[in-house]
Amino acid sequence: MEITVIFYLLLFTVAFLYASVGHGGASGYLALMAIYGFAPDLMKPTALLLNIFVSLTAFIQFYRGRHFNWKIFLPLALASIPFAFLGGIMSIDATLYKKILGLLLLIPIARFFFLTKTGEEEKQLPNIVWSLLLGAMIGFLSGLIGIGGGIILSPILLLLRWTDQKQTAAISALFIFVNSLSGLSGQLTKGIHFSSDMLLMVIIAFAGGLLGAWFGSLKFRHEILKFTLASVLTLAAFKLLFTTA
């Protein structure tokens, strides 16, 4: 496994773009690490740790823009946090892990390539039962795979018309933050390992997230970056689903 300058440039881009829509970027970090041949037991804690820094940065920016809604967030988070911890405790076969991650990467690919719905239509009142069920399901997957769950939650919030684009970003950012903390805590109970380049990765991801969150909280169009990231995710998903290396 050799980390190159291109890896760090892509890492910065991933953090920038994901933070601009209120995400921590774990699915993007996992995709990059899959392409560069990181081991699954290294990928999960690394992605969650990067998620914590970037998602908190994104949340602060969107919260300052008055886009956050506690009533929608709380039931989702209350259900997701314990299940993210449970998922973090569990171990999963490396081959199965790669297949599940490959399938999950199809969600942000579809979002970046095809989902143009902004949630500006008339909003619907959230359903508390559905909120709890969604929170539990997404939380478990978050801890198990090493993501914050924003790539799953965001399109659901928009499609259900519970939030608009900015509200979705704000809620997803804090949702990702608490799930990442919970999932990483679960993994700590059985011991985790980080790359020797972890500090540099955190600095680069944090810088990209800080800049992306600032731009994202404003009116910023980034179609070229979206296409670039979606292409990287597609390559990673193909490698995870259809190759054995």
Is residue 222 very low, low, confident or very high in pLDDT (cuts 50, 70, 90)?
Answer: low
In contact, 90 and 139? CB cutoff 8 Å: no
pLDDT value, residue 233: 73
93-103 pLDDT per residue, tens: 878 888 888 88
Tell me if the pTM is above 0.85. no
8-50 pLDDT per residue, tens: 999 998 898 888 877 788 888 988 888 888 887 888 888 899 9
pLDDT for residue 219 is more than 70 = no
pLDDT for residue 116 is more than 80 = no
Mean pLDDT of 110-136: 76
- CA-based end-to-end distance of the chain: 13
3-state secondary structure the chain: CCCCHHHHHHHHHHHHHHHHCCCCCHHHHHHHHHHCCCCHHHHHHHHHHHHHHHHHHHHHHHHHCCCCCHHHHHHHHHHHHHHHHHHHHCCCCHHHHHHHHHHHHHHHHHHHHCCCCCCCCCCCCCCHHHHHHHHHHHHHHHHHHCCCCHHHHHHHHHHHCCCCHHHHHHHHHHHHHHHHHHHHHHHHCCCCCCCCCHHHHHHHHHHHHHHHHHHHCCCCCCHHHHHHHHHHHHHHHHHHHHCCC
pLDDT value, residue 119: 47
Q: Which amino acid is at 166?
A: K
pLDDT value, residue 223: 62
Tokens representing residue 121 in the block? 């239509």
Closest CA to 24 of 16, 34, 35: 16
Q: What is the Cα–Cα distance from 234 to 21, expressed in whole angstroms? A: 19
